[in-house]
Amino acid sequence: MSTLPVVVAVDGSRDSLRALDWAVDTARRRAAPLRVVHVRQYHAWTQPGAPVVVPPDPEADWVLAAARTHLEGPSGLPTTEYVGLDGAIGTVLAEQGQAAQLLVLGSRGRGGFASLLLGSNGLAAARDAECPVVVVPRPGRKVEAAPETEPGPRVVVGLKVDGPDDATLDFGFAEAALRDARLQVVAAYPWPVQTWAAPEDVVPPMIDQDAVEGETLALAEGFLAPYRERYPDVLAEPFPAPGDAAGHLVAASKDAELVVVGRHRRRLLAPARMLGSVTNAVLLHAASPVAVVPPSPGEE
């Protein structure tokens, strides 16, 4: 059985070339082939009487030529193919995820890729792709200082203790194993806890934060146990954190190899695919590459 490729989207911008470098390294680690894709957006139809728009010649694609040139020199490149496609960028990229183990995008680009993280194309790919999508940010993003951690490579994964996502945890452990990195598991819990009472009702007793944190840690340890057995060489450290999950994940992204977050499961009253507010915020602000992992088919 052939190994599915790592697919990376390029458009000639520096951001897409950074994504290309990240994808090359990841394909090497996964012993996977690399597929470099340029999606050329053009109108496939015209108004009556207007000039006919001819799709560009794939062999004359300067974006793919630039990608080839960028990869010239270093030895040990994975098996690489270059593919030019035509159509709506977000849709075509999501379709590429059907036959990929990973889809890699730059955070910004030129033309149809402008403001990928904020615009519709990148969000559509991260929302709709069947495989995990990694968005590589521009260097130099400023984030708030995170609690000090031990030096060395580190992968960060978000854990919802009230609804853990098996696909996200498995991807985080697998990436930490591939990168010989520690796994920092951020388990946020609501704080302060809101208590509401009618004017004549008795206000509930104060909730002990240490008890809530201890319970969160115990739940996290229980969820991590089977993955520690599956990945015995990965040191996984749960970090209970009060309040905003997105803020803690963004802070932890400083100097991290990767931040791993899950995509929302579909809900009965909201059947459309969604990224979720935490995932959106992490994509917008994290200093490291961000992997958005879809739920396993059974969970979605």
Residue 149 lies in a domain: no
Strand ranges across the sheet with 236-242: 80-86, 34-40, 6-9, 102-106, 133-136, 290-293, 258-262, 154-158, 182-189, 236-242
Give the pLDDT confidence score for residue 193 in this predicted structure.
Answer: 63
Cα–Cα distance measured from residue 106 to residue 290, given in angstroms and rounded to the nearest whole number: 11
* Same domain membership, residue 161 and residue 50: no
One domain for residues 283 and 184: yes
The count of structural domains within the chain is 2
Tell me the CATH number at 106.
3.40.50.620
The per-residue pLDDT for range 18-53, each reduced to its tens digit, is 999 999 999 999 999 999 999 987 644 445 554 444
Structure tokens at 260: 């791993």
Write out the H or E segment, with its range, that includes residue 62: helix 62-71
pTM of the model: 0.84
pLDDT at 124 over 80: no
Mean pLDDT along residues 56-60: 60
Residue 220 placed within a domain: yes
Mean pLDDT to the nearest integer, 114-125: 56
Residue 163: give the domain boundaries: 154-293
Q: Which of 136, 163, 182 is the last residue before a domain boundary?
A: 136
| Domain-terminating residue out of 85, 109, 136 | 136
The pLDDT mean for the chain works out to 82
Domain annotation covers residue 144: no
Domain termination residue (choose one: 71, 102, 136): 136
pLDDT grade, residue 112 (50/70/90)? Answer: very low
pLDDT digits (tens, 9 = 90+) for 142-168: 887 666 677 889 999 999 888 888 999
Query: Is residue 206 over pLDDT 70?
Result: no
* pLDDT of 277 higher than 70: yes
Q: Is residue 230 part of a domain?
A: yes
CATH number at residue 241: 3.40.50.12370
Q: Are residues 119 and 237 in the same domain?
A: no
* Percentage above 70 pLDDT, the chain: 76
